[in-house]
Chain A
């Protein structure tokens, strides 16, 4: 929204920044949550989470099972609206949008904020229709334009050579890794600004997982990425920043957040230290 530098330049800056020892971050903030709480019925799942996610970087959410990482993601695109008895309180801003404002257009919001789930979830349609259905819903109707986007996004996720001659076959005939890449292509086709990924590699074999991971790493500099992962090595490899969640008194809380090296090597909190140490050893 603000400070839109030309993309290639911005990307190379980000890449250098990642390779070199971390300089002071000066990226604008894309997602800002304040005192965000989320509960299912009476049961709190998240309490008082205030987190800033910088634009065009990769932020990894880590923490044990049940500490509310998925719930956090689903509040960002208001998918929480669909979860039974789920209530969200606090404040979320993405760019200039007040996400939790009931007047916010969720369809437009979800177009800007893509989401990838743990289990690849292509629709039981052809590969082509998987990509076209959301595009048509958002008003892209011209055949030539649709074809161009299909080819471009499939190329972007490295799937084009594999599927170009079977676009009209069911997407369910693809392997798990290919399905996950298709889902990513489907999200990218809508040209989102933010991409949320909920353990996108954990249902995949190591090779597919590596391919998807590289793909996610390649999103840096062009998209704001928030990824939940249980794989700390993965978080370390691809993330710029890490947020550590922990379950305390039955509710998930944000314990520590910062640049990836700081959180892993010089954690400020005892819990963080124990978690990154324990999971490593």
Chain B
């Protein structure tokens, strides 16, 4: 019975995550600096950041891989969650800002504002912040979903609409009058819940929280896609009309999934911001959302762990490559996307799991090579 309760892939992912988490913490705390086993605070931070990306990829895979909704706007939900957390972190600065104003963040003092805009009220409360982190992306996705899915927008049109949404938000957040720090965004954070963001222990705790959140999110996503509603969603992906003839209101399933996914993306953003120390309108840029799609495609869409693998692999590759040749990254990313779509439609995990797919790839490649030689 226990065996059934945890599906195999779920068990594997949970184990891997827990082991990695525990290992990193031990390696950071127990082994002294200079030991080859030591994991530096910098690395802990970097891993935490990548795991936020993994959570974001997971959220996109849920709607794209399982329901065929190719959102090119998930970066917006991530950024909104991040901004909600950023507001709280700004308030934590208190009077330690450059202008020393106990209430107003520096950029507001700079703009000559005399009081907090209404939407900043309550942001000094951590509980309220947690609510905002989920509610803002959730409500936006709900409204967007109801409007788009009710009017039967799907496919490329939906992707374009989501892309337009994130672009519009980026333009809005660039404006100083919006009250989110304009161009510079929110930064110079000092504490979270009174603990210094610079300290090794805070970073370690944030890392652990990210691991735990990813675990819980993975578990919940797995439950959703394996329960009956998950089957309905798969049905919608393949033939929405058929699903409604069976008697399901497909709009409500799509709206639910899209909203839940946006909330996950928001949580990822909220975990990300304290670990990187900044949130600015660049997070809304369309290319960010496209990158998420590429993570999922490369990892293998339609498998939850594929999304995680994709986010981690591509992020590591990015950090290596941007170190070597910063300009080349976008080209590399585009090239990778094309290669994956052509040669491994099920992504990395499809290749690993399926010997036939492996063989097919080898055949395809050798065919190309042979042709080239012939030519």
Judge: A and B partners, yes or no. no
B residues with a Cβ closer than 8 A to A are none
